[in-house]
A and B are shown apart, each in its own frame.
With several copies, the nearest count.
Chain A
Protein backbone atom coordinates (compact mmCIF):
# COMPACT_ATOMS: atom_id res chain seq x y z
CA UNK A 1 0.00 0.00 0.00
CA UNK A 2 1.24 3.49 -0.82
CA UNK A 3 0.72 5.14 2.54
CA UNK A 4 0.34 8.91 2.56
CA UNK A 5 -0.52 9.39 6.25
CA UNK A 6 0.67 7.22 9.06
CA UNK A 7 -0.27 7.37 12.72
CA UNK A 8 1.45 5.31 15.39
CA UNK A 9 0.60 4.96 19.06
CA UNK A 10 -1.07 8.34 19.19
CA UNK A 11 -2.59 9.51 22.44
CA UNK A 12 -4.38 12.81 22.94
CA UNK A 13 -5.81 14.31 26.10
CA UNK A 14 -7.73 17.44 27.06
CA UNK A 15 -6.87 18.55 30.58
CA UNK A 16 -5.75 15.05 31.40
CA UNK A 17 -8.93 13.42 30.10
CA UNK A 18 -7.92 10.88 27.43
CA UNK A 19 -9.76 11.59 24.20
CA UNK A 20 -8.01 9.59 21.56
CA UNK A 21 -5.95 6.44 21.61
CA UNK A 22 -4.99 5.14 18.19
CA UNK A 23 -2.53 2.28 17.93
CA UNK A 24 -2.01 2.25 14.22
CA UNK A 25 -3.63 3.99 11.31
CA UNK A 26 -2.48 4.16 7.72
CA UNK A 27 -4.20 6.11 4.98
CA UNK A 28 -3.51 5.02 1.43
CA UNK A 29 -2.76 7.58 -1.25
CA UNK A 30 -5.77 8.62 -3.32
CA UNK A 31 -8.15 6.69 -1.12
CA UNK A 32 -11.38 8.02 0.33
CA UNK A 33 -11.67 7.17 3.99
CA UNK A 34 -14.81 7.72 6.01
CA UNK A 35 -14.81 8.48 9.71
CA UNK A 36 -17.95 7.50 11.57
CA UNK A 37 -18.79 7.50 15.23
CA UNK A 38 -21.16 9.06 17.69
CA UNK A 39 -20.82 12.62 19.00
CA UNK A 40 -17.72 13.01 21.09
CA UNK A 41 -16.06 9.88 19.77
CA UNK A 42 -13.03 11.84 18.60
CA UNK A 43 -13.54 12.32 14.88
CA UNK A 44 -12.73 16.02 14.93
CA UNK A 45 -9.76 15.46 17.18
CA UNK A 46 -8.44 12.74 14.89
CA UNK A 47 -8.74 15.00 11.84
CA UNK A 48 -6.97 17.82 13.64
CA UNK A 49 -4.11 15.50 14.51
CA UNK A 50 -3.88 14.10 10.99
CA UNK A 51 -3.81 17.56 9.47
CA UNK A 52 -1.10 18.70 11.86
CA UNK A 53 -3.21 21.47 13.37
CA UNK A 54 -2.90 19.88 16.80
CA UNK A 55 -0.07 17.87 18.25
CA UNK A 56 -0.55 14.50 19.93
CA UNK A 57 0.40 14.09 23.59
CA UNK A 58 2.48 11.12 22.51
CA UNK A 59 2.99 9.08 19.37
CA UNK A 60 3.74 10.11 15.83
CA UNK A 61 1.83 11.37 12.84
CA UNK A 62 3.66 11.47 9.57
CA UNK A 63 2.76 12.63 6.11
CA UNK A 64 4.62 10.84 3.36
CA UNK A 65 7.15 10.02 6.09
CA UNK A 66 7.57 13.69 7.08
CA UNK A 67 6.34 14.68 10.52
CA UNK A 68 3.27 16.90 10.21
CA UNK A 69 3.49 18.61 13.54
CA UNK A 70 6.89 20.19 13.19
CA UNK A 71 5.97 23.72 12.30
CA UNK A 72 9.16 24.21 10.33
CA UNK A 73 7.63 21.80 7.88
CA UNK A 74 5.26 24.43 6.66
CA UNK A 75 5.40 23.18 3.13
CA UNK A 76 4.16 19.83 4.38
CA UNK A 77 1.28 21.48 6.19
CA UNK A 78 0.38 23.30 3.00
CA UNK A 79 -0.13 20.02 1.22
CA UNK A 80 -2.65 18.92 3.82
CA UNK A 81 -5.90 20.73 4.20
CA UNK A 82 -8.71 20.52 6.73
CA UNK A 83 -12.29 21.71 6.56
CA UNK A 84 -13.15 22.38 10.21
CA UNK A 85 -16.49 21.30 11.58
CA UNK A 86 -17.62 24.83 12.33
CA UNK A 87 -17.74 26.78 9.08
CA UNK A 88 -15.88 30.04 9.62
CA UNK A 89 -15.24 32.83 7.18
CA UNK A 90 -12.86 35.73 7.44
CA UNK A 91 -14.55 39.14 7.47
CA UNK A 92 -14.10 39.61 3.77
CA UNK A 93 -15.93 38.90 0.59
CA UNK A 94 -16.48 35.30 -0.46
CA UNK A 95 -13.96 35.86 -3.23
CA UNK A 96 -11.23 36.84 -0.81
CA UNK A 97 -12.10 34.03 1.52
CA UNK A 98 -11.57 31.49 -1.22
CA UNK A 99 -8.50 33.33 -2.50
CA UNK A 100 -6.89 33.38 0.97
CA UNK A 101 -5.34 29.93 0.77
CA UNK A 102 -4.13 30.55 -2.77
CA UNK A 103 -2.56 33.83 -1.73
CA UNK A 104 -0.65 32.42 1.21
CA UNK A 105 0.70 29.84 -1.19
CA UNK A 106 1.99 32.65 -3.32
CA UNK A 107 -0.94 32.92 -5.72
CA UNK A 108 -0.96 36.39 -7.30
CA UNK A 109 -2.98 38.27 -9.82
CA UNK A 110 -6.28 37.15 -11.19
CA UNK A 111 -7.53 34.14 -9.34
CA UNK A 112 -11.11 34.56 -10.50
CA UNK A 113 -10.99 31.54 -12.77
CA UNK A 114 -10.01 29.19 -9.97
CA UNK A 115 -12.48 30.72 -7.60
CA UNK A 116 -15.46 30.44 -9.88
CA UNK A 117 -14.55 26.88 -10.66
CA UNK A 118 -14.40 26.06 -6.96
CA UNK A 119 -17.76 27.72 -6.32
CA UNK A 120 -19.25 25.73 -9.12
CA UNK A 121 -17.90 22.52 -7.62
CA UNK A 122 -19.93 23.15 -4.48
CA UNK A 123 -23.00 24.19 -6.44
CA UNK A 124 -22.91 27.94 -5.92
CA UNK A 125 -23.12 30.26 -8.88
CA UNK A 126 -20.38 32.79 -9.38
CA UNK A 127 -22.49 35.73 -8.20
CA UNK A 128 -21.70 34.53 -4.70
CA UNK A 129 -18.07 35.57 -5.14
CA UNK A 130 -19.05 39.18 -4.55
CA UNK A 131 -21.03 38.60 -1.36
CA UNK A 132 -19.68 39.53 2.02
CA UNK A 133 -19.02 36.86 4.62
CA UNK A 134 -22.12 37.70 6.62
CA UNK A 135 -24.49 37.67 3.67
CA UNK A 136 -24.77 33.92 3.45
CA UNK A 137 -27.13 31.33 4.81
CA UNK A 138 -25.74 28.54 6.97
CA UNK A 139 -25.47 26.00 4.18
CA UNK A 140 -24.04 28.54 1.75
CA UNK A 141 -21.31 29.45 4.26
CA UNK A 142 -20.53 25.78 4.73
CA UNK A 143 -20.16 25.33 1.00
CA UNK A 144 -17.99 28.42 0.60
CA UNK A 145 -15.68 27.00 3.25
CA UNK A 146 -15.46 23.79 1.29
CA UNK A 147 -14.79 25.69 -1.92
CA UNK A 148 -11.91 27.47 -0.16
CA UNK A 149 -10.35 24.04 0.44
CA UNK A 150 -11.08 22.52 -2.93
CA UNK A 151 -9.48 25.44 -4.73
CA UNK A 152 -6.14 24.58 -3.10
CA UNK A 153 -6.05 21.10 -4.64
CA UNK A 154 -4.15 19.71 -1.66
CA UNK A 155 -2.57 16.27 -1.66
CA UNK A 156 -4.75 15.30 1.21
CA UNK A 157 -8.07 16.85 2.08
CA UNK A 158 -9.86 16.24 5.37
CA UNK A 159 -13.50 17.17 5.65
CA UNK A 160 -15.22 17.40 9.00
CA UNK A 161 -18.93 17.01 8.40
CA UNK A 162 -19.03 18.67 4.99
CA UNK A 163 -22.74 17.98 4.57
CA UNK A 164 -23.94 19.01 8.01
CA UNK A 165 -26.24 21.85 7.02
CA UNK A 166 -26.28 21.39 3.32
CA UNK A 167 -29.32 20.54 1.23
CA UNK A 168 -29.71 17.25 -0.56
CA UNK A 169 -28.90 18.64 -3.96
CA UNK A 170 -25.69 20.14 -2.61
CA UNK A 171 -24.78 16.96 -0.78
CA UNK A 172 -24.79 15.27 -4.18
CA UNK A 173 -22.76 18.15 -5.53
CA UNK A 174 -20.18 17.68 -2.82
CA UNK A 175 -20.10 13.98 -3.53
CA UNK A 176 -19.30 14.73 -7.16
CA UNK A 177 -16.62 17.23 -6.12
CA UNK A 178 -14.99 14.71 -3.81
CA UNK A 179 -14.91 12.03 -6.46
CA UNK A 180 -13.59 14.50 -9.00
CA UNK A 181 -10.81 15.58 -6.66
CA UNK A 182 -9.68 12.04 -6.26
CA UNK A 183 -9.98 11.24 -9.95
CA UNK A 184 -8.46 14.38 -11.43
CA UNK A 185 -5.94 15.48 -8.82
CA UNK A 186 -5.24 12.21 -7.02
CA UNK A 187 -6.37 13.78 -3.76
CA UNK A 188 -6.52 11.58 -0.69
CA UNK A 189 -9.70 12.26 1.27
CA UNK A 190 -10.71 11.64 4.84
CA UNK A 191 -14.29 12.55 5.63
CA UNK A 192 -16.04 12.58 8.99
CA UNK A 193 -19.79 12.55 8.78
CA UNK A 194 -22.97 11.43 10.48
CA UNK A 195 -24.63 11.13 7.11
CA UNK A 196 -24.10 7.41 6.90
CA UNK A 197 -25.64 6.59 3.56
CA UNK A 198 -23.79 9.48 1.95
CA UNK A 199 -20.56 8.30 3.51
CA UNK A 200 -21.09 4.66 2.55
CA UNK A 201 -21.72 5.81 -0.94
CA UNK A 202 -18.37 7.46 -1.58
CA UNK A 203 -15.85 5.89 0.77
CA UNK A 204 -13.49 3.07 -0.01
CA UNK A 205 -13.25 2.32 3.65
CA UNK A 206 -14.95 3.52 6.79
CA UNK A 207 -13.22 3.81 10.13
CA UNK A 208 -15.48 3.50 13.14
CA UNK A 209 -14.50 5.50 16.18
CA UNK A 210 -15.94 4.94 19.60
CA UNK A 211 -14.67 6.65 22.72
CA UNK A 212 -11.47 7.61 20.98
CA UNK A 213 -10.65 4.11 19.77
CA UNK A 214 -10.93 2.53 16.38
CA UNK A 215 -13.39 -0.34 16.33
CA UNK A 216 -12.68 -3.39 14.31
CA UNK A 217 -16.24 -3.62 13.04
CA UNK A 218 -19.12 -1.44 11.98
CA UNK A 219 -21.43 -0.46 14.78
CA UNK A 220 -24.72 0.31 13.27
CA UNK A 221 -26.48 -1.74 15.85
CA UNK A 222 -25.34 -0.28 19.10
CA UNK A 223 -27.26 -0.85 22.30
CA UNK A 224 -26.42 1.59 25.03
CA UNK A 225 -28.31 -0.21 27.76
CA UNK A 226 -29.34 -0.06 30.56
CA UNK A 227 -28.59 -3.73 31.03
CA UNK A 228 -30.35 -5.87 33.57
CA UNK A 229 -29.08 -9.16 34.87
CA UNK A 230 -31.07 -12.09 33.51
CA UNK A 231 -29.15 -14.96 34.98
CA UNK A 232 -25.63 -15.69 36.12
CA UNK A 233 -24.14 -15.52 32.68
CA UNK A 234 -26.61 -13.34 30.77
CA UNK A 235 -27.69 -9.72 30.79
CA UNK A 236 -30.49 -8.17 28.78
CA UNK A 237 -31.52 -4.83 27.38
CA UNK A 238 -35.22 -4.15 27.15
CA UNK A 239 -36.42 -2.40 24.00
CA UNK A 240 -39.32 0.03 24.07
CA UNK A 241 -41.67 -2.54 22.56
CA UNK A 242 -40.98 -4.97 25.40
CA UNK A 243 -38.66 -7.34 23.60
CA UNK A 244 -35.35 -8.18 25.25
CA UNK A 245 -31.92 -8.39 23.66
CA UNK A 246 -29.73 -10.89 25.47
CA UNK A 247 -25.98 -10.82 25.80
CA UNK A 248 -23.32 -12.79 27.59
CA UNK A 249 -22.30 -11.01 30.76
CA UNK A 250 -19.26 -8.90 30.06
CA UNK A 251 -16.08 -9.10 32.09
CA UNK A 252 -16.45 -5.53 33.28
CA UNK A 253 -19.82 -3.79 33.50
CA UNK A 254 -19.53 -1.77 30.32
CA UNK A 255 -22.26 0.42 28.93
CA UNK A 256 -22.64 -0.36 25.26
CA UNK A 257 -22.61 -3.34 23.02
CA UNK A 258 -22.73 -4.00 19.31
CA UNK A 259 -25.19 -6.61 18.11
CA UNK A 260 -24.55 -8.30 14.80
CA UNK A 261 -27.44 -10.03 13.17
CA UNK A 262 -26.73 -13.06 11.12
CA UNK A 263 -29.75 -12.70 8.86
CA UNK A 264 -33.21 -11.48 8.20
CA UNK A 265 -35.96 -14.01 8.07
CA UNK A 266 -39.44 -13.62 6.76
CA UNK A 267 -40.59 -16.64 8.79
CA UNK A 268 -40.88 -16.87 12.56
CA UNK A 269 -38.25 -17.43 15.29
CA UNK A 270 -35.96 -20.43 15.06
CA UNK A 271 -35.41 -22.84 17.93
CA UNK A 272 -31.67 -23.23 18.00
CA UNK A 273 -29.36 -23.20 20.96
CA UNK A 274 -27.41 -19.98 21.25
CA UNK A 275 -29.48 -18.25 18.61
CA UNK A 276 -31.94 -15.66 19.82
CA UNK A 277 -34.35 -13.68 17.71
CA UNK A 278 -36.18 -10.36 17.60
CA UNK A 279 -39.36 -9.37 15.81
CA UNK A 280 -39.37 -6.13 13.86
CA UNK A 281 -40.78 -4.30 10.90
CA UNK A 282 -38.80 -3.40 7.82
CA UNK A 283 -38.54 0.33 7.51
CA UNK A 284 -36.55 0.68 4.38
CA UNK A 285 -34.47 -1.30 2.00
CA UNK A 286 -31.60 0.45 0.29
CA UNK A 287 -29.09 -0.50 -2.32
CA UNK A 288 -25.81 1.31 -2.27
CA UNK A 289 -24.68 2.76 -5.52
CA UNK A 290 -21.49 0.83 -5.22
CA UNK A 291 -22.21 -2.23 -3.24
CA UNK A 292 -24.55 -4.74 -4.62
CA UNK A 293 -25.68 -5.87 -1.21
CA UNK A 294 -29.02 -4.41 -0.16
CA UNK A 295 -29.39 -3.22 3.40
CA UNK A 296 -32.56 -3.21 5.44
CA UNK A 297 -33.43 -1.01 8.38
CA UNK A 298 -35.67 -2.87 10.79
CA UNK A 299 -37.37 -1.14 13.67
CA UNK A 300 -38.12 -2.85 16.95
CA UNK A 301 -39.96 -0.25 18.97
CA UNK A 302 -37.77 2.83 19.15
CA UNK A 303 -34.63 0.98 18.23
CA UNK A 304 -33.57 0.60 14.65
CA UNK A 305 -31.23 -2.09 13.44
CA UNK A 306 -29.39 -2.22 10.17
CA UNK A 307 -28.91 -5.57 8.51
CA UNK A 308 -26.96 -6.45 5.41
CA UNK A 309 -29.12 -8.82 3.46
CA UNK A 310 -27.57 -12.02 2.22
CA UNK A 311 -27.29 -12.47 -1.49
CA UNK A 312 -27.51 -9.89 -4.23
CA UNK A 313 -30.17 -7.39 -5.16
CA UNK A 314 -32.48 -10.16 -6.29
CA UNK A 315 -32.41 -11.52 -2.78
CA UNK A 316 -34.26 -8.43 -1.63
CA UNK A 317 -37.22 -9.31 -3.78
CA UNK A 318 -38.92 -11.28 -1.07
CA UNK A 319 -38.88 -8.33 1.37
CA UNK A 320 -40.80 -5.09 1.35
CA UNK A 321 -41.08 -2.11 3.69
CA UNK A 322 -43.83 -2.66 6.20
CA UNK A 323 -43.19 -6.36 6.36
CA UNK A 324 -42.76 -8.02 9.76
CA UNK A 325 -39.56 -10.04 9.94
CA UNK A 326 -37.42 -11.91 12.41
CA UNK A 327 -33.81 -11.06 13.16
CA UNK A 328 -31.39 -13.69 14.41
CA UNK A 329 -28.37 -13.12 16.59
CA UNK A 330 -26.12 -15.02 18.92
CA UNK A 331 -25.75 -13.57 22.44
CA UNK A 332 -22.16 -14.73 22.43
CA UNK A 333 -21.25 -12.70 19.43
CA UNK A 334 -22.15 -9.43 20.98
CA UNK A 335 -19.14 -7.10 21.17
CA UNK A 336 -18.77 -5.03 24.29
CA UNK A 337 -17.34 -1.55 23.97
CA UNK A 338 -14.85 -0.21 26.46
CA UNK A 339 -16.05 2.86 28.26
Chain B
Protein backbone atom coordinates (compact mmCIF):
# COMPACT_ATOMS: atom_id res chain seq x y z
CA UNK B 1 0.00 0.00 0.00
CA UNK B 2 2.75 2.41 0.95
CA UNK B 3 4.07 2.47 -2.59
CA UNK B 4 0.81 4.03 -3.74
CA UNK B 5 1.31 6.97 -1.41
CA UNK B 6 4.97 7.12 -2.40
CA UNK B 7 3.86 7.01 -6.03
CA UNK B 8 1.49 9.93 -5.64
CA UNK B 9 4.22 11.99 -4.01
CA UNK B 10 6.65 10.96 -6.69
CA UNK B 11 4.21 11.87 -9.48
CA UNK B 12 4.23 15.47 -8.28
CA UNK B 13 7.98 15.45 -8.01
CA UNK B 14 8.39 14.12 -11.53
CA UNK B 15 6.03 16.68 -12.98
CA UNK B 16 7.03 19.68 -10.93
CA UNK B 17 10.75 19.17 -10.79
CA UNK B 18 10.79 18.53 -14.52
CA UNK B 19 12.41 15.12 -14.53
CA UNK B 20 14.06 14.85 -17.93
CA UNK B 21 13.42 11.17 -18.46
CA UNK B 22 9.77 11.61 -17.66
CA UNK B 23 9.39 14.55 -19.99
CA UNK B 24 11.07 12.64 -22.77
CA UNK B 25 8.55 9.82 -22.28
CA UNK B 26 5.65 12.27 -22.10
CA UNK B 27 6.76 13.86 -25.34
CA UNK B 28 7.10 10.51 -27.06
CA UNK B 29 3.67 9.45 -25.83
CA UNK B 30 1.98 12.62 -26.96
CA UNK B 31 3.68 12.59 -30.34
CA UNK B 32 2.99 9.00 -31.14
CA UNK B 33 -0.60 8.99 -29.94
CA UNK B 34 -1.48 12.20 -31.76
CA UNK B 35 -0.11 10.72 -34.93
CA UNK B 36 -1.87 7.40 -34.59
CA UNK B 37 -5.16 8.99 -33.53
CA UNK B 38 -5.15 11.39 -36.46
CA UNK B 39 -4.59 8.56 -38.89
CA UNK B 40 -7.20 6.30 -37.37
CA UNK B 41 -9.85 9.03 -37.13
CA UNK B 42 -9.22 10.13 -40.68
CA UNK B 43 -9.60 6.63 -42.01
CA UNK B 44 -12.00 5.25 -39.43
CA UNK B 45 -14.73 7.87 -39.45
CA UNK B 46 -15.57 7.59 -43.16
CA UNK B 47 -15.42 3.81 -43.00
CA UNK B 48 -17.57 3.75 -39.88
CA UNK B 49 -20.05 6.10 -41.54
CA UNK B 50 -20.37 3.76 -44.52
CA UNK B 51 -20.84 0.80 -42.23
CA UNK B 52 -23.47 2.62 -40.22
CA UNK B 53 -25.37 4.31 -43.02
CA UNK B 54 -25.18 2.34 -46.19
CA UNK B 55 -27.14 -0.84 -46.58
CA UNK B 56 -25.16 -3.32 -48.63
CA UNK B 57 -25.00 -7.10 -48.63
CA UNK B 58 -22.44 -8.46 -46.22
CA UNK B 59 -22.70 -5.44 -44.01
CA UNK B 60 -23.37 -7.45 -40.92
CA UNK B 61 -20.47 -9.79 -41.64
CA UNK B 62 -18.14 -6.84 -41.94
CA UNK B 63 -19.53 -5.60 -38.68
CA UNK B 64 -18.68 -8.90 -37.03
CA UNK B 65 -15.17 -8.78 -38.46
CA UNK B 66 -14.65 -5.25 -37.15
CA UNK B 67 -15.97 -6.30 -33.76
CA UNK B 68 -13.54 -9.19 -33.75
CA UNK B 69 -10.71 -6.81 -34.60
CA UNK B 70 -11.48 -5.07 -31.33
CA UNK B 71 -9.84 -8.09 -29.74
CA UNK B 72 -6.52 -7.79 -31.56
CA UNK B 73 -3.92 -8.21 -28.82
CA UNK B 74 -1.37 -5.46 -28.87
CA UNK B 75 1.58 -7.83 -28.85
CA UNK B 76 0.05 -9.55 -31.86
CA UNK B 77 -0.23 -6.27 -33.73
CA UNK B 78 3.29 -5.49 -32.60
CA UNK B 79 4.53 -8.76 -34.07
CA UNK B 80 2.73 -8.18 -37.36
CA UNK B 81 4.05 -4.67 -37.76
CA UNK B 82 7.49 -5.84 -36.71
CA UNK B 83 7.41 -8.55 -39.36
CA UNK B 84 6.79 -5.95 -42.03
CA UNK B 85 9.15 -3.21 -40.96
CA UNK B 86 11.99 -5.31 -39.60
CA UNK B 87 15.17 -5.02 -41.63
CA UNK B 88 14.40 -8.41 -43.09
CA UNK B 89 10.76 -7.53 -43.73
CA UNK B 90 9.24 -6.20 -46.96
CA UNK B 91 9.13 -2.61 -45.70
CA UNK B 92 12.48 -2.78 -43.96
CA UNK B 93 14.09 -0.19 -46.17
CA UNK B 94 11.94 2.64 -44.78
CA UNK B 95 13.70 2.39 -41.45
CA UNK B 96 10.52 2.48 -39.39
CA UNK B 97 11.69 -0.04 -36.82
CA UNK B 98 12.41 1.44 -33.41
CA UNK B 99 10.91 4.78 -34.38
CA UNK B 100 7.86 6.61 -33.15
CA UNK B 101 6.35 6.45 -36.64
CA UNK B 102 6.58 2.69 -36.51
CA UNK B 103 4.71 2.66 -33.22
CA UNK B 104 2.11 4.99 -34.67
CA UNK B 105 1.43 2.55 -37.50
CA UNK B 106 0.72 -0.20 -35.01
CA UNK B 107 -1.37 2.03 -32.79
CA UNK B 108 -3.42 3.20 -35.74
CA UNK B 109 -4.22 -0.43 -36.49
CA UNK B 110 -5.18 -0.84 -32.85
CA UNK B 111 -7.44 2.23 -32.81
CA UNK B 112 -9.05 1.70 -36.19
CA UNK B 113 -11.58 -0.99 -35.25
CA UNK B 114 -12.64 1.02 -32.23
CA UNK B 115 -13.17 4.15 -34.30
CA UNK B 116 -15.01 2.25 -37.02
CA UNK B 117 -17.26 0.28 -34.70
CA UNK B 118 -18.17 3.23 -32.51
CA UNK B 119 -18.66 5.59 -35.45
CA UNK B 120 -20.94 3.08 -37.13
CA UNK B 121 -23.01 2.80 -33.97
CA UNK B 122 -23.14 6.55 -33.51
CA UNK B 123 -24.31 7.00 -37.08
CA UNK B 124 -26.82 4.18 -36.75
CA UNK B 125 -28.38 5.73 -33.71
CA UNK B 126 -28.84 9.12 -35.30
CA UNK B 127 -32.41 10.33 -35.23
CA UNK B 128 -34.45 8.45 -37.74
CA UNK B 129 -35.65 11.23 -40.04
CA UNK B 130 -32.27 12.98 -40.30
CA UNK B 131 -31.24 11.54 -43.62
CA UNK B 132 -34.59 12.24 -45.25
CA UNK B 133 -34.51 15.79 -43.94
CA UNK B 134 -31.05 16.47 -45.30
CA UNK B 135 -31.84 14.98 -48.68
CA UNK B 136 -35.08 16.90 -48.81
CA UNK B 137 -33.11 20.08 -48.31
CA UNK B 138 -30.99 19.19 -51.31
CA UNK B 139 -27.84 18.03 -49.51
CA UNK B 140 -25.33 16.08 -51.61
CA UNK B 141 -23.82 12.81 -50.42
CA UNK B 142 -20.83 14.65 -49.02
CA UNK B 143 -23.02 17.16 -47.24
CA UNK B 144 -25.18 14.41 -45.77
CA UNK B 145 -21.95 12.81 -44.53
CA UNK B 146 -20.63 15.99 -42.97
CA UNK B 147 -23.89 16.95 -41.32
CA UNK B 148 -24.53 13.45 -40.03
CA UNK B 149 -21.04 13.38 -38.57
CA UNK B 150 -21.68 16.71 -36.93
CA UNK B 151 -25.03 15.58 -35.54
CA UNK B 152 -23.37 12.39 -34.29
CA UNK B 153 -20.53 14.32 -32.73
CA UNK B 154 -21.25 13.17 -29.21
CA UNK B 155 -20.91 9.57 -30.30
CA UNK B 156 -17.78 10.35 -32.30
CA UNK B 157 -16.30 12.12 -29.33
CA UNK B 158 -16.75 8.98 -27.30
CA UNK B 159 -15.25 6.94 -30.11
CA UNK B 160 -12.23 9.22 -30.16
CA UNK B 161 -11.91 9.23 -26.40
CA UNK B 162 -12.15 5.46 -26.15
CA UNK B 163 -9.63 4.95 -28.93
CA UNK B 164 -7.32 7.49 -27.36
CA UNK B 165 -7.54 5.66 -24.06
CA UNK B 166 -6.66 2.45 -25.83
CA UNK B 167 -3.73 3.99 -27.66
CA UNK B 168 -2.39 5.86 -24.66
CA UNK B 169 -2.36 2.77 -22.49
CA UNK B 170 -1.09 0.11 -24.86
CA UNK B 171 2.29 -1.44 -24.14
CA UNK B 172 2.72 -4.34 -26.54
CA UNK B 173 3.13 -2.36 -29.73
CA UNK B 174 5.37 0.27 -28.25
CA UNK B 175 7.60 -2.41 -26.78
CA UNK B 176 7.75 -4.61 -29.83
CA UNK B 177 7.95 -1.99 -32.55
CA UNK B 178 9.44 0.90 -30.64
CA UNK B 179 11.87 -1.10 -28.58
CA UNK B 180 11.41 1.04 -25.45
CA UNK B 181 14.69 2.81 -26.20
CA UNK B 182 15.46 5.33 -23.53
CA UNK B 183 15.40 8.95 -24.77
CA UNK B 184 13.96 7.81 -28.08
CA UNK B 185 11.01 5.49 -28.14
CA UNK B 186 10.33 5.06 -24.46
CA UNK B 187 6.72 6.05 -23.86
CA UNK B 188 5.06 6.39 -20.50
CA UNK B 189 3.50 2.97 -20.66
CA UNK B 190 6.68 1.16 -21.61
CA UNK B 191 8.40 3.10 -18.84
CA UNK B 192 5.74 1.91 -16.41
CA UNK B 193 6.24 -1.67 -17.54
CA UNK B 194 9.96 -1.33 -17.14
CA UNK B 195 9.81 0.26 -13.71
CA UNK B 196 7.37 -2.35 -12.53
CA UNK B 197 9.64 -5.08 -13.75
CA UNK B 198 12.48 -3.46 -11.88
CA UNK B 199 10.36 -3.59 -8.77
CA UNK B 200 10.08 0.20 -8.68
CA UNK B 201 6.36 0.06 -8.02
CA UNK B 202 6.17 3.61 -6.72
CA UNK B 203 7.69 4.96 -9.91
CA UNK B 204 5.23 2.85 -11.86
CA UNK B 205 2.34 4.40 -9.99
CA UNK B 206 3.81 7.85 -10.45
CA UNK B 207 4.15 7.41 -14.19
CA UNK B 208 0.62 6.02 -14.36
CA UNK B 209 -0.61 9.18 -12.69
CA UNK B 210 1.35 11.25 -15.17
CA UNK B 211 -0.42 9.43 -18.00
CA UNK B 212 -3.77 10.02 -16.33
CA UNK B 213 -2.91 13.69 -16.05
CA UNK B 214 -2.33 13.81 -19.80
CA UNK B 215 -5.59 11.99 -20.43
CA UNK B 216 -7.38 14.35 -18.10
CA UNK B 217 -6.01 17.37 -19.93
CA UNK B 218 -7.15 15.91 -23.25
CA UNK B 219 -10.61 15.08 -21.94
CA UNK B 220 -11.02 18.41 -20.26
CA UNK B 221 -10.44 20.19 -23.54
CA UNK B 222 -12.79 17.78 -25.31
CA UNK B 223 -15.47 18.36 -22.71
CA UNK B 224 -15.82 21.86 -24.11
CA UNK B 225 -16.83 20.30 -27.39
CA UNK B 226 -19.43 18.39 -25.42
CA UNK B 227 -20.71 21.57 -23.85
CA UNK B 228 -21.26 23.20 -27.20
CA UNK B 229 -23.17 20.14 -28.34
- A and B, direct touch (CB closer than 8 Å): yes
A-side residues, CB < 8 A to B, are 48, 51-53, 71, 74, 77-84, 86, 88, 90-91, 100-101, 104-105, 134, 148-149, 152, 154
Q: How far, in angstroms, from A100 to B150 measured CA to CA in the complex?
A: 13
Task: Say yes or no: A84 contacts B143, CB within 8 Å.
Answer: no
Q: How far, in angstroms, from A101 to B143 measured CA to CA in the complex?
A: 10
* Residues of B118-138 contacting chain A, CB below 8 A: 127-130, 132-133, 135-138
Nearest Cβ in chain B — how far from A148, in angstroms?
A: 7
Determine which of B137, B139, B140, B151 lies in contact with A91 in the assembled complex, contact meaning CB atoms within 8 Å: B151
Task: Say yes or no: B132 contacts A84, CB within 8 Å.
Answer: yes
Q: How many residues of B contact A (CB 8 A)?
A: 17
B129 / chain A contacts, CB cutoff of 8 Å: 84, 86, 88
Nearest Cβ in chain B — how far from A73, in angstroms?
A: 10
A and B contact pairs by CB, cutoff 8 A, 9 listed: A71-B140, A74-B138, A74-B141, A81-B137, A82-B136, A86-B129, A100-B147, A104-B140, A104-B143
CB contact under 8 A between A88 and B138, given known A53-B132, A104-B143: no
Task: Say yes or no: A101 contacts B141, CB within 8 Å.
Answer: no
Q: Residue B54 at the A interface, CB < 8 A?
A: no
- Count the A-B residue pairs with Cβ separation under 8 angstroms: how many? 56
Task: Say yes or no: A88 contacts B137, CB within 8 Å.
Answer: no
Task: Say yes or no: A74 contacts B136, CB within 8 Å.
Answer: no
Task: Say yes or no: B132 contacts A101, CB within 8 Å.
Answer: no
Q: How far, in angstroms, from A82 to B135 measured CA to CA in the complex?
A: 9
Q: Residue B229 at the A interface, CB < 8 A?
A: yes
Task: Say yes or no: B151 contacts A51, CB within 8 Å.
Answer: no
Task: Say yes or no: B137 contacts A53, CB within 8 Å.
Answer: no
Task: Say yes or no: B135 contacts A148, CB within 8 Å.
Answer: no
Task: Say yes or no: A84 contacts B133, CB within 8 Å.
Answer: yes
B141 / chain A contacts, CB cutoff of 8 Å: 71, 74
Top-4 shortest CB links A-B: A78-B138, A82-B136, A88-B129, A101-B137
Q: How far, in angstroms, from A171 to B137 measured CA to CA in the complex?
A: 22
Q: How far, in angstroms, from A221 to B138 measured CA to CA in the complex?
A: 38
Determine which of B130, B139, B140, B229 lies in contact with A88 in the assembled complex, contact meaning CB atoms within 8 Å: B130
Q: Given A80-B138, A104-B139, 6 more contacts at CB 8 Å?
A: A48-B132, A81-B136, A81-B137, A90-B130, A90-B147, A154-B138
Task: Say yes or no: A90 contacts B151, CB within 8 Å.
Answer: yes
Nearest Cβ in chain A — how far from B27, in angstroms?
A: 38
Nearest Cβ in chain B — how far from A288, in angstroms?
A: 30
Nearest Cβ in chain B — how far from A114, in angstroms?
A: 14
Task: Say yes or no: B137 contacts A152, CB within 8 Å.
Answer: yes
CB contact under 8 A between A100 and B137, given known A90-B147, A91-B151: yes
Determine which of B136, B138, B139 lies in contact with A84 in the assembled complex, contact meaning CB atoms within 8 Å: B136
CB contact under 8 A between A83 and B139, given known A88-B130, A90-B151: no
Q: How far, in angstroms, from A77 to B134 measured CA to CA in the complex?
A: 11
Q: How far, in angstroms, from A77 to B229 measured CA to CA in the complex?
A: 30
Nearest Cβ in chain A — how far from B20, in angstroms?
A: 47
Q: How far, in angstroms, from A83 to B136 measured CA to CA in the complex?
A: 7
A86 / chain B contacts, CB cutoff of 8 Å: 129
With both beta carbons as reference points, the residue of chain B lying nearest to A160 in the complex is identified as B136
Task: Say yes or no: A53 contacts B139, CB within 8 Å.
Answer: no
Q: How far, in angstroms, from A51 to B151 measured CA to CA in the complex?
A: 24
